[in-house]
Chains A and B, each alone.
Chain A
């Protein structure tokens, strides 16, 4: 195995021959290093899991009884002939880029990431490497995110208008990551914040780890929907428009996603509003992350892979598309991120 690449792309997933382990594999393998708890990265059926201490509780909640070990950011672990460490990816709490070093050659598999500080996840920290594996979910120059404070002001203005018109504001968001980020952006002075059970389950796990979230009220079947005027309700997209949500009477619905940047996508959602916010890097974010790694070789895993790698090749990098089963930010009802 003298000249095997540090990481290779196999049908089970990203493989390290020197350490005989996989990163975010999509088929059952012996040893899996997991970047974060979203379902397209942390899958069921591995003999052993390794993930950050913060990512583990959510993974256990999702995957049940697994054999897993935790690791701190920056902690160096030797696996076979590989030196491995996890570094903040800023995507969701506990998410990591995985650095793998074999005989002085360094590769980084970044999973999903964003470069702006969301105030909740450990912020992205660039890791120098020779080869960088990147996503490109929003790898087109039309995706340029506004500041989080600007988006927060838009969401709160919408909520306040709903409240003033006697309507309940329903904000659709995925249970892990986006929902908690949105929670921290809400202005509790406008009214009470209610959460759907699926979101509250994840909230509890996050709070248990000592991460502060604003106060929320669980909106389960026992709650009288009329007892909380001016409320905003955070719910998974699949719960919007359900019998449960209809119990709240007059309402407006909104959806928060990077895809809302495109007018056509915004209009396709059968919601009243779309807010542009994502836990994936925008165009500028992808480019700055790639630049800061100093890497020459770029492997593009998911998103606008062809266009993005062509641009990188045009701009002096050696880039190629590698097919994976990672999915990026989805608009599916049961979607992964």
Chain B
């Protein structure tokens, strides 16, 4: 565990990508097979199942630390991370039992079936024998959550450096349905014939946001445009007589979308489609809002009524595998042509459509189309170069997303709450209000969008302008106006204001505006009429 803790620390305490990749590459070269296999698994979100409930862990930790449970909970709310809070409150010790990472995971998985006292015994022993970072990692393992500041992309790069294999191949090998129980380091990373299982998806190609105008992209004829849908990116895989649906978050979602089973009837074996999963009821001109789709994603089994009210359709926009061949290196125009050919035989009422390409004669004309994206229930546009290959991961150059500017309102800050974790010593969570006559009505919370310097400044101000305290929340003098940006607005009965925003964040601190100039509830109602 010490070696893994060293790796974790090296990654965690550096802000430099190269340092992180080098530390990880060293580890992949040196560690034993089971350890490095588990490391890939953990860093790609394949974690061991939770061995003890967090309620029990909190109780045991408070007991061991000799503090009341409420004080543990308060500390947790400030630290923001359960594993870390436990590691910090327990009496200090140094690690004197250095079992390898994979052994710890093995022991952890052996206690699943044991009675509670045996599990408690195991946990208390681990806490007593593990110090510092090792204890923190153990807590992460036992709570089943493990997130580390390293992306799939960086891990693949480190693995490429350690194994001398191309990054793109490794990215593909690491996709899909494997688990340390069902494979080995050799099979996963080294074996020549990557005889992957039929469900294995391709790494998604992700676009960067276009920051300047598309004029800089060059020759107009080299580009194709589509709507950027506001659904879930997904891959539909048709192999070995079966079908699989993967989300971009690499979650297998086949069972959540039973209506897609029909696609098996007209998509030939050996086909992989990339597209957007959308709720799109028959006869409607646009898909339903993201909220409706969210209701579907939340259900592992879908009731009949929901299936009828909120039918899911795949809007395909790329073809990655055709007749069993990986065609990702072929130009987009060719892949698109094949996609169109394939879709020509699909009946109109089938839950598979092809995402239309938008006609435009100039960048100005396209910009004009973009302004109508909200009416189409889209987030903006996607621009794709006609000769672009289908790359792995987020890459600049060939694909761009050209999103709509967000909606904004000017609002008054009325409550402040201190942050946790990263921002434990700052006020970062604010509640904002708009005018309703002479009253300020709270309508949203936001906690991101300011710089650290701004958060420090507002923190000092909050300390001096607190009107009332309710636990960690402070009511402050209405004085500061912030421009709040958001992606969508919906009617909501749960909120006093009657509206709920999607992805609200602080765009700007409007120190130039007096509170009288903030927006009103009527303004929000207007937005609701137009965009809700």
The answer for the CA separation of A146 and B464 in the assembled complex, in Å, is 33
Partner of A311, one of B71, B452, B464: B71
Q: Would A263 and B65 count as touching, CB distance under 8 A?
A: no
The answer for the CA separation of A262 and B71 in the assembled complex, in Å, is 17
Q: A218 on the interface (CB 8 Å rule)?
A: no
The answer for the CA separation of A224 and B496 in the assembled complex, in Å, is 63
Within the complex, what minimum Cβ distance (angstroms) separates A263 from chain B? 6
Q: B92 on the interface (CB 8 Å rule)?
A: yes
Q: Would A263 and B78 count as touching, CB distance under 8 A?
A: no
Q: Would B464 and A325 count as touching, CB distance under 8 A?
A: yes
A314 contacts which chain B residues (CB < 8 A)?
68
Q: Would A265 and B12 count as touching, CB distance under 8 A?
A: no
Within the complex, what minimum Cβ distance (angstroms) separates A11 from chain B? 12
Q: Would A141 and B65 count as touching, CB distance under 8 A?
A: yes
Q: B29 on the interface (CB 8 Å rule)?
A: no
Partner of B13, one of A140, A146, A274: A274
Q: Interface readout for B310-348 with A: 1 if CB under 8 Å, 0 if not?
A: 000000000000000000000000000000000000000
Instruction: Take A270-B15, A314-B68, A325-B464 as given contacts and tell me if A264 and B424 are in contact as well, using a CB distance cutoff of 8 Å.
Output: yes
Q: A142 on the interface (CB 8 Å rule)?
A: yes
Q: B67 on the interface (CB 8 Å rule)?
A: yes
A261 contacts which chain B residues (CB < 8 A)?
88
Within the complex, what minimum Cβ distance (angstroms) separates A252 from chain B? 9
Q: Would A142 and B452 count as touching, CB distance under 8 A?
A: no
B420 contacts which chain A residues (CB < 8 A)?
264
Task: List which A114-157 residues lie within 8 A (CB) of chain B.
Answer: 140-144, 146
A272 contacts which chain B residues (CB < 8 A)?
13-16
**Closest residue of chain A to B72, judged by CB?**
A141
Partner of A263, one of B12, B460, B469: B12
Q: B367 on the interface (CB 8 Å rule)?
A: no
Instruction: Take A262-B421, A314-B68, A331-B425 as given contacts and tell me if A268 and B452 are in contact as well, using a CB distance cutoff of 8 Å.
Output: yes
The answer for the CA separation of A273 and B19 in the assembled complex, in Å, is 13
Instruction: Take A142-B88, A332-B456 as given contacts and tell me if A268 and B469 are in contact as well, using a CB distance cutoff of 8 Å.
Output: no
Q: Would A265 and B422 count as touching, CB distance under 8 A?
A: yes
Q: Interface readout for A249-284 with B: 1 if CB under 8 Å, 0 if not?
A: 000000000010111111110111110000000000
The answer for the CA separation of A314 and B424 in the assembled complex, in Å, is 24
The answer for the CA separation of A144 and B91 in the assembled complex, in Å, is 9
Q: B235 on the interface (CB 8 Å rule)?
A: no
Partner of B425, one of A144, A146, A265, A306: A265
Partner of B149, one of A140, A267, A274, A325: A267
Q: Would A264 and B80 count as touching, CB distance under 8 A?
A: yes
Q: A76 on the interface (CB 8 Å rule)?
A: no
A140 contacts which chain B residues (CB < 8 A)?
71, 74-75, 78
The answer for the CA separation of A330 and B453 in the assembled complex, in Å, is 13
Interface residues of B, count at CB 8 A: 39
Q: Would B423 and A264 count as touching, CB distance under 8 A?
A: yes
B424 contacts which chain A residues (CB < 8 A)?
259, 262, 264-265
A211 contacts which chain B residues (CB < 8 A)?
none
The answer for the CA separation of A265 and B84 in the assembled complex, in Å, is 12
Within the complex, what minimum Cβ distance (angstroms) separates A334 from chain B? 9
Q: B81 on the interface (CB 8 Å rule)?
A: yes
The answer for the CA separation of A267 and B78 in the assembled complex, in Å, is 15
Q: Would B464 and A142 count as touching, CB distance under 8 A?
A: no
B423 contacts which chain A residues (CB < 8 A)?
264-265, 268
Q: B388 on the interface (CB 8 Å rule)?
A: no
Q: A213 on the interface (CB 8 Å rule)?
A: no
Q: Would A264 and B81 count as touching, CB distance under 8 A?
A: yes
Q: Would A142 and B85 count as touching, CB distance under 8 A?
A: yes
Partner of B71, one of A266, A274, A307, A327: A307
Q: B89 on the interface (CB 8 Å rule)?
A: yes
Partner of B422, one of A144, A146, A264: A264
Task: List which A291-332 residues lie within 8 A (CB) of chain B.
Answer: 304, 306-307, 311, 314, 323, 325, 327, 330-332
A332 contacts which chain B residues (CB < 8 A)?
456, 460
On A, residues with C-beta under 8 Å from B are: 140-144, 146, 259, 261-268, 270-274, 304, 306-307, 311, 314, 323, 325, 327, 330-333
Q: List 5 A-B contacts (CB under 8 A).
A: A259-B425, A263-B136, A271-B15, A272-B15, A273-B13
Nearest first, the 9 closest Cβ-Cβ pairs linking A and B are A264-B421, A264-B422, A142-B88, A268-B422, A307-B74, A141-B89, A142-B75, A140-B75, A332-B456
